[in-house]
Amino acid sequence: MSADTLVVLDFETTGLSPNRGDRAIEIGAVKLVEGEVVDRFQRLMNPGFAVSPFIESYCGISNAMLREAPPCETVMAEFADFIGDHNLVAHNASFDRRFLDAELDRIGRHYPGEFACSLLLARRIYPEAPDHKLGTLVAYKGIANDGVFHRALADTEVTAGLWQAMMHDLQQRCGFQPSFAQLQTLCRKPKGAVADYLAKLARC
């Protein structure tokens, strides 16, 4: 599985847990093929109820905007077709995976591919970074951005840039670009075992 052909995605949501009734209100995605951006996807979606003032302020997505948006079910059907079985990447992927699975389940669809987490990977590649929030890593690596965060497409654009930077740095460190499966393994390694794992990859 190639690590540079995949889809980077991000959800904005009404809260933290679909198990508590929270829904997606925006999705953004960037499709990479051999490390180059070839397509983008961005939609607002109407969850069927009003979002809180905190969410309006945090995301900049108002209830007025959502009233004009198509329902989640319509958007998720389009998105399922967009991603197909491409591997997926997200920053704090467990959060986005929960909402992806929950929203697809509502329309009888299922994502069959694999996920990797840019947050977990960055913690292992850049342990010296001040922290591993997306905005901090973007500044740390000098990734071009327009200063907008917490909107889905803007976040996926910079996450894609971070992923590309990590692929470059790993290639410099290992002498080759690890596969997607190897990166998933790296994300699960204790931080103290990272150097040995990368050295082992470099010897293979």
Phi and psi based region of residue 85 (left: phi greater than 0; alpha: psi -120 to 50; beta: remaining): alpha
Report pLDDT digits (tens) over 154-177: 999 999 999 999 999 999 988 888
* Tokens matching residue 91: 């920053």
204 residues of the chain, pLDDT tens digit each: 789 999 999 999 999 999 999 999 999 999 999 999 999 999 999 999 999 999 999 999 999 999 999 999 999 999 999 999 999 999 999 999 999 999 999 999 999 999 999 999 999 999 999 999 999 999 999 998 876 676 889 999 999 999 999 999 999 988 888 999 999 999 999 999 999 999 998 886
DSSP 3-state assignment of 36?
strand
150 catalytic residue (yes or no): yes
Kind and range of the H or E element at 11?
strand 6-13
Q: For the whole model, what pTM was predicted?
A: 0.94
Q: List domains and CATH numbers for the chain.
A: 6-203 (3.30.420.10)
Distance, in Å, from the CA atom of 24 to the CA atom of 117, rounded to the nearest integer, reads 19
Q: Which residue in the list 86, 110, 132, 150 is annotated as catalytic?
A: 150
- In this prediction, residue 145 carries a pLDDT of 80
